[in-house]
Amino acid sequence: MASPESAVNGPTMTAGAASKSLRNAFGGVIAFIILVLIGVLAFSIRLFSVIKYESVIHEFDPYFNYRVTQFLSKNGIYDFWNWFDDRTWYPLGRVIGGTVYPGLTLTAGTIWKVVNSLNIPLSVETVCVFTAPIFSAFASWAAYLLTKEVKGPGAGLTAAALLAMVPSYISRSVAGSYDNEAVAIFALVFTFYLYIKTLNTGSLFYATLNALAYFYMVCSWGGYTFIINLIPMHVLLCIVTGRYSSRLYIAYAPLVVLGTLLASLVPVVGFNAVLTSEHFASFLVFIIIHVVALAYYIKGILSPKMFKVAVTLVVSVGLAVCCAVIAILIAVVASSPTKGWSGRSLTLLDPTYASKYIPIIASVSEHQPPTWPSYFMDINVLAFLVPAGIIACFMPLTDSSSFVILYIVTSVYFSGVMVRLMLVLAPAACILSGIALSEAFNVLTRSIKFQLPGIAGNPSIASEENGSSTVVAPNDIPKTEEAAKEKPAKKNRKKEKENVEKKPTPSKTEKRLLVLPLEASVIAVLLLVLLGAFYVVHCVWAAAEAYSAPSIVLTSHSNDGGLHVFDDFREAYSWLSHNTDVDDKVASWWDYGYQTTAMANRTVLVDNNTWNNTHIATVGTAMSSPEKQAWEIFHSLDVKYVLVVFGGVVGYPSDDINKFLWMVRIGGGVFPHIKEPDYLRDGQYRIDAQATPTMLNCLMYKLSYFRFVETDGKGFDRVRRTEIGKKHFKLTHFEEVFTTHHWMVRIYKLKPQRNRIRGKTKKSKSSRSVSSKRDVRGKRNPWH
Amino acid sequence: NEQLAIPQLRQSSYRHETPPTNPSRRCLHLGYFGGKRLHKISWSAPKPSPLTRSAPMAKLAIFFTLTLSLLPFLSHSFSPDTPTDRRILVLLDDFSLKSSHSIFFTSLKSRGFDLDFKLADDPKLSLQRYGQYLYDGLILFAPSVERFGGALDVAAVLDFVDSGHDLIVAADTTASDLIKSVATECGVDFDEDPSAMVIDHQGYAVSDVDGDHTLIAADELIRSDVILGKTKIEAPVLFKGIAHSLNAANTLALKVLSGSPSAYSANPSAKLSSPPSLTGSAISLVSVVQARNNARIMISGSLDLFSNRYMKSSVQKAGSPSKYEKSGNEQFVTEVSKWLFHERGHLKAGNLRHLKVGETGEPAMYRIKDDLEFYVDIFEWSGNSWEPYVADDVQVQFYMMSPYVLKTLSTDKKGLYHTSFKVPDVYGVFQFKVEYQKLGYTSLSLSKQIPVRPFRHNEYERFIPTAFPYYGASFTTIFFFYLFVFFLVIKTRFAGALQMAGFFIFSVVYLYNNRMVGRPPFSIL
């Protein structure tokens, strides 16, 4: 959150040299204005959802965050910390304070409090809706800072502009998408910026800030493990490539110590910060960096000959110590509660792990591996610019540019594992594309500038060299950057500077410049501008059309161009909140848990925080069981209502029938009498006349298709594009109480236990079934 | 002790949802002759038309309104507060039964019931009017009726039961499919062979003149004081009729009078070609059913059981030396009908409440390991007033998917049950559950939801004795770190002294703060 100030001051502060002071001041002002505009752009491009729909919270998880924020704003931080929620995971309940990443909630709560104390009466919902756009502006400013540290302000501004509208990030941060990622991406980029800043300056001040930024990231998102693994990787890379310096030590050691201490203060992380394997890499590198530091220190005080003796001594001892440490590590890993890695982390390393062993992770759509089109959709032209950016980072390879390269490589890998982690890739892609674009413009504009007769006055033009690539050797920007960097350098850094920073100096003095032909340069500039324009068009389209749907309100265009709105979800939830008792329990598949508690304020069995697999499996088993068994399961859990989402009437594809196989799998994982093959005909999932009897008799089928044939007389399911297998049937243990306008949500009530137990003679059956039929007929048909 | 009993019985499973002061219902009941007329007035009275708004008419209207509003307090009928039935419809095959079974009817009348005798095929037969039931109980002494008259059919009878009213069904050898299907719906299966009777060659009554041993002196009675009364029925009960059986899985039905091991069900006039389907103790002669809404049903295989002839006759069981002047029928029938019409064994429970030990008022949530006290009131209806129910087997469960605590409640013999226990070390949404199902009594099923939360952040132990070495270690580290700083970094003695002093002050303040349990000393969040 400190980013705007530092972003503003950054460029103006660098204006140091007296000769360029005026030009730099002017550039600083321009940069400042551009940054403000980028912030406005980042904010406003995310408002399509509000303009096209309304100012609502989107999707599933944001509803939970919204509910938590409401609680926080009403009850204060201590009650939030100790909140035991008895309306979810009935009857287990959930300790919200200890199981939630509080960063987002605390941020929005703070904003709400500040705004209200200034007598600006915004509702909590408004604040929540607009938190994500605000933080995406912050994130683009943080990207500016990070890229500026790596390649100078020009690249920084380009990267910031790219990040402001990258579709991948927009998909998670449109107004109303009130999710952890919204603030976490800012925290991620800002933490990286502070790490690079510390690495470049060697300042303990920035190291401390870095630990605090890391703390904010830990508060915000489980993705913090990416930071705590990437930074050690980079440190290790620096050590291996002989780039160890005291700046590296200052950038890393305080982060591990302070960061781990701070992370363990977050209730949801707690002792995991030292117990789970995700954090072990940082500790290992922490040990290594100390060994290396000791080695460098000893090398400094010993004569070369003595040092050689010492090395042989240390290596022999060190090997023994290493063996011991590795043994200890293995012991710790084996004894840690999760046997090392948690399920989600293992998914990252072995993409097939989840689908093999943890259906509940594999079943989440955002945990699927992405397809190639989704790369083009989400980062568009950046995918082509990234390689150029990587090359630019190698010329010259500095500590900071090697970090960016490492960042892009790891995030490309992770994004290939889980579509959700595309979000981590987006900033990296923007930064590298920003570097690439900026370098390209640099070369091209300088070529133009040197060849235009009016401006060409610079005496230091070297001979033209026909480079094979368009990418250039060091130019003005890194030079001024290094000059600025050296200014605050301390005396202790003087001697070790020789190691690293004097290396590029020969090339600097040589002043080799690549000049391209004028026409080629002009055309290349135009093409690059065109490329940028395509990117902007694509981003605006993505923001407006693809990623702004709130998913609780759906729209469709009819053939004559009219807009049709499907507001069934809110209709159902408000029916629940108005027509059921406060303490009634509603069973549904876990996708709708958060929405039910937030919008209908009713107790649910399972929700989107999938912490208890057994409980979810119980609901899955009930949904895949015949009516009677399902009734018994639900009755034992005090369920009053069952809610199913059904898209067969309007063709809404993500309904419960399409999710049903996951219910079977998850249920069968815990209760083995539910077997997936029973629901498949020759390995095919079908609901038509060929479907298996188990499928046609399970609760989910019955609740979805009950009275469905009354809609069109044939029972044609528009999602599965087939006629359903069993059309006319009655419910014995459930009764329909509400079906929304488009049949998208259907709510059933559990019938009470029979008042009498009938005898075994079946003679008088007809008289009773007549009356039960009458009950069903008496219900309002919501379709007509 | 009425005060405890009345308030808030919302959770208890009461038979009637009708509020106690429902004028239309009370008015309709006022004698069968005037019911209709009074009812009409009750419609017009609260809303006088503008034409009749003259003074005398208004006075009259006020008078009627007052009368009508007072009437409910004068009348008697079934209600949650007075659960005994009052108005009973008796359906007969023919009116001669009225005199042949007069002892039974007289005993009912003497206990204050209004009996309304009608023929089972009376075309004006109806149990309810305008959605209100006209009767609280139904006696079907019409075994041979094939179709009820009027609006009555099997479904109507069953709806009558399902809305909490009581039923007596008596069958005999002429039992029609209609009567059998009513019984089946209640969980009682009569022998399907229409000519079969219960025969017992060892337990027959010796006074029987014809020798087919179908008049049985049954003495296999259920051992339940609440159904059969405290006085033991000494004499055997005379029974002549058809057998029925109960499904073993049916937990609602009970055999009150069952056949002896030597009884079987067969056609007495035909030769037995195959083993009889119903034999021995599987045969039930008289059964009672208590439905889940506590409606009570009695099903007898013999209509003669209720007759004056059987009640008065002397009885001697075959092979038994003792001869009784009077059969047990009268006592048996009277006692069972007392139970059936809720003069006995009708419990109500309510006022479920709990509180933390040492506090007043009910908390909205408990913490794990809290001590709590639990109270519930249970009363039994004695026929005209609520008496404290005294038992030592009422239990409360502290329930979350399974009972975590199961405690027997102790009573103060005034209807108040009480216990205290410690909340288990498990958090979640619990329920206080009182599930009381005792033979013959109405089943009580009360529950009240209560969440249990874990410790708050500041409710944990501040200092753990076993961790003192760690406290020592951390403070020693701090101390030596300061020493280190003092000797290595800080050159001037004054600054060092200041630093040391600061350290000691810090430590003292820290320790002092930690003493004050209940507030986090330095919380970062």
Full 3-state SS string of A472-540: CCCCHHHHHHHHHHHCCCCHHHCCCHHHHCCCCHHHHHHCCCCCCCHHHHHHHHHHHHHHHHHHHHHHH
Cα–Cα distance list, B413 to B182, B378, B379 (Å): 41, 10, 10
CB B429 to CB A77 under 8 A?
A: no
Whole-prediction pTM: 0.79
CA of B41 to nearest chain A CA: how many angstroms apart? Answer: 32
pLDDT digits over A87-132, tens only?
888 888 888 888 899 999 999 999 999 999 999 999 999 999 999 9
Confidence of residue B214 (pLDDT cuts 50, 70, 90): confident
pLDDT digits over A265-307, tens only?
998 898 888 888 788 889 999 999 998 898 888 888 888 888 8
Q: Is A77 on the interface with B (CB under 8 A)?
A: yes
CB B451 to CB A78 under 8 A?
A: no
The answer to whether residue A220 scores a pLDDT higher than 70 is: yes
Q: Is B394 left (phi over 0), alpha (psi -120 to 50) or beta?
A: beta
Question: Which two tokens mark A329?
Answer: 């590590």
Range A694-706 average pLDDT: 90
Q: Which amino acid makes up residue A537?
A: V
The answer to whether residue B277 scores a pLDDT higher than 90 is: no
Confidence of residue B42 (pLDDT cuts 50, 70, 90): very low
CB B184 to CB A86 under 8 A?
A: no
Q: Is B122 on the interface with A (CB under 8 A)?
A: no
- Percent with pLDDT over 70 in chain B: 78
Q: Is A81 on the interface with B (CB under 8 A)?
A: yes
pLDDT at A624: 92
Question: Between A81, A86, A753, which is nearest B429 by CB?
Answer: A86
From chain B, pick out residues whose CB is under 8 angstroms from the CB of A754.
292
CA of B247 to nearest chain A CA: how many angstroms apart? Answer: 7
The alpha carbon torsion through A761, A764, A768, A769 (nearest 10 deg) reads 90
Answer whether A593's CB lies under 8 Å from A607's CB. yes
Q: Is B10 on the interface with A (CB under 8 A)?
A: no
Q: Is B248 on the interface with A (CB under 8 A)?
A: no
* Ranges A64-78, A330-344, A677-691: which has the least confidence: A330-344
pLDDT at A44: 93
pLDDT at B12: 38
Confidence of residue B56 (pLDDT cuts 50, 70, 90): low
* Ranges A14-23, A576-585, B104-113, B294-303: which has the least confidence: A14-23
CB A757 to CB B252 under 8 A?
A: yes
pLDDT at A576: 93
Nearest-Cα residue of chain B relative to residue A767: B155
pLDDT digits over A160-169, tens only?
999 999 999 9
- What is the rounded CA–CA span in Å between residue B66 and residue A397? 101
**Which residues neighbour B55 within 8 Å (Cβ) at sequence distance 6 or greater?**
none
Q: Which helix (DSSP H) or strand (DSSP E) does residue B406 occupy?
A: strand B402-408
Question: Which two tokens mark A655?
Answer: 């309904």
pLDDT at B430: 93
CB A759 to CB B188 under 8 A?
A: yes
pLDDT at B384: 81
CB B250 to CB A82 under 8 A?
A: no
CA of B428 to nearest chain A CA: how many angstroms apart? Answer: 4
Range A186-212 average pLDDT: 94
CB B192 to CB A91 under 8 A?
A: no
pLDDT digits over B232-252, tens only?
888 889 888 899 998 888 888
The answer to whether residue B315 scores a pLDDT higher than 80 is: yes
3-state secondary structure of A567: coil
CB A93 to CB B247 under 8 A?
A: no
Task: Mark which residues 590-629 of A lie under 8 Å from B by CB.
Answer: 603
From chain A, pick out residues whose CB is under 8 angstroms from the CB of B155.
767-768, 770-771
From chain B, pick out residues whose CB is under 8 angstroms from the CB of A636.
401
Range B319-333 average pLDDT: 86
pLDDT digits over B15-29, tens only?
343 333 333 333 333
* Ranges A97-101, A416-420, B216-220: which has the least confidence: A416-420
Answer whether A594's CB lies under 8 Å from A60's CB. yes
- Who wins on pLDDT, B319 or A394? A394
Q: Is A766 on the interface with B (CB under 8 A)?
A: no
Q: Is B55 on the interface with A (CB under 8 A)?
A: no
* Ranges A383-392, A486-495, A722-731, B194-203: which has the least confidence: A486-495
- Percent with pLDDT over 90 in chain A: 41
CB A265 to CB B525 under 8 A?
A: yes
CA of B288 to nearest chain A CA: how many angstroms apart? Answer: 12
- Beta bridge partners, B265, equal B198
CB B292 to CB A761 under 8 A?
A: no
- Percent with pLDDT over 70 in chain A: 84
pLDDT at A279: 87
Range A629-643 average pLDDT: 92
- Beta bridge partners, B132, equal B129
pLDDT at A338: 60
Answer whether A228's CB lies under 8 Å from A276's CB. no
Q: What is the mean pLDDT of chain B?
A: 79
CA of B459 to nearest chain A CA: how many angstroms apart? Answer: 11
pLDDT at A623: 92
CA of A91 to nearest chain B CA: how many angstroms apart? Answer: 5
- Strand segments (E) across A115-252: none
Give the number of A-B residue pairs with CB atoms closer than 8 Å.
106
From chain B, pick out residues whose CB is under 8 angstroms from the CB of A78.
457
pLDDT at B78: 64
Most confident option among A687-696, B37-46, B476-485: A687-696
First to last CA, chain A: 54
- Who wins on pLDDT, B80 or A450? A450
- Who wins on pLDDT, A4 or B159? B159
* Ranges A24-28, A229-233, A655-659, B391-395: which has the least confidence: A24-28
- What is the rounded CA–CA span in Å between residue B278 and residue B129? 41
Range B506-514 average pLDDT: 68
From chain B, pick out residues whose CB is under 8 angstroms from the CB of A763.
177, 180-181, 184
Range B417-444 average pLDDT: 91
3-state secondary structure of B200: strand
Q: Is A509 on the interface with B (CB under 8 A)?
A: no
**Which residues neighbour A693 within 8 Å (Cβ) at sequence distance 6 or greater?**
none
The answer to whether residue B1 scores a pLDDT higher than 60 is: no
Q: Is B359 on the interface with A (CB under 8 A)?
A: no
CB A84 to CB B453 under 8 A?
A: yes
Confidence of residue A621 (pLDDT cuts 50, 70, 90): very high
Task: Mark which residues 385-414 of B lie under 8 Å from A by CB.
Answer: 400-401
pLDDT at B490: 62
Q: Is B420 on the interface with A (CB under 8 A)?
A: no
Range B271-300 average pLDDT: 88
Range B167-186 average pLDDT: 89
pLDDT digits over B345-403, tens only?
889 888 899 999 888 888 989 999 999 999 999 999 887 888 999 989 999 999 998 89
- Who wins on pLDDT, A471 or A642? A642
pLDDT digits over A67-89, tens only?
999 999 999 999 999 999 988 88
The answer to whether residue A776 scores a pLDDT higher than 90 is: no
pLDDT at A9: 43
* Ranges A344-353, A554-563, A579-588, A737-746: which has the least confidence: A344-353
- Who wins on pLDDT, A683 or A136? A136
From chain B, pick out residues whose CB is under 8 angstroms from the CB of A603.
429
- Who wins on pLDDT, B343 or A363? B343
Q: Is A760 on the interface with B (CB under 8 A)?
A: yes
For β-strands B188-190 and B166-170, DSSP reports them as: unpaired
pLDDT digits over B435-458, tens only?
998 888 988 989 999 999 999 888
Q: Where are the alpha helices (DSSP H) in A45-102?
A: 48-52, 61-75, 77-81, 96-99
Interface test with B, best of A756, A758, A768 (most B CBs within 10 A): A756
CB B291 to CB A636 under 8 A?
A: no
Range A308-323 average pLDDT: 86
Confidence of residue A764 (pLDDT cuts 50, 70, 90): very low
Answer whether B405's CB lies under 8 Å from B397's CB. yes
Confidence of residue A715 (pLDDT cuts 50, 70, 90): confident
Range B194-213 average pLDDT: 79
pLDDT at A558: 76
The answer to whether residue A5 scores a pLDDT higher than 50 is: no
